[in-house]
Amino acid sequence: MARQKNPNSVRQRALQYLGTQTTVKREVVIDRLMERFTIGQPYAATLYAQYRTNRKENGTMIKVHSVRDTKNGMPVEPYLKIENVLQANPDTALSEVEAVYLYLDELNTKALAVISMLKSL
């Protein structure tokens, strides 16, 4: 049998609060946890990590794939990036193959734009 909810538990209230902060960046959420529950930064980071771990185990986080060709604004050799997110955009790739196809389609679109621009000169 599961434990009863404790209304005085900072951990339980913080994990419940994290469920409402799905679109906010990690740093902002940790700052809000520290302010709202008067806890330290290490404990807030631990609670955030535990929340993400619980979501991964429950299957509520989605693994999305993308092909990147820039890093810090500089061009690099294309590489595959995998992220775990709570809410994926409708146009994100859920598999490696789909990510590669989306990347190639984007490259094709850019190439056609350049070709049409050169033809107009």
DSSP letter string over 1-26? -PPPP-TT-HHHHHHHHHTT-TTS-H
The pLDDT value recorded for residue 87 is 67
- Specify if 1 maps to a domain: no
pLDDT tens digits, 51-94: 888 887 777 777 788 888 888 888 888 888 888 776 677 777 88
Q: Are residues 68 and 38 in the same domain?
A: no
Rounded CA separation 11/43 (Å):
9
Q: Which domain holds residue 67?
A: 62-119
- Specify if 3 maps to a domain: no
Q: Are residues 96 and 81 in the same domain?
A: yes
The pLDDT value recorded for residue 44 is 94
Q: What percent of the chain has pLDDT over 90?
A: 27
Least confident of 4-13, 34-43, 54-63: 54-63
The pLDDT value recorded for residue 91 is 76
Q: Could you tell me the pTM of the whole model?
A: 0.56
Q: Are residues 115 and 72 in the same domain?
A: yes
Q: Are residues 42 and 72 in the same domain?
A: no
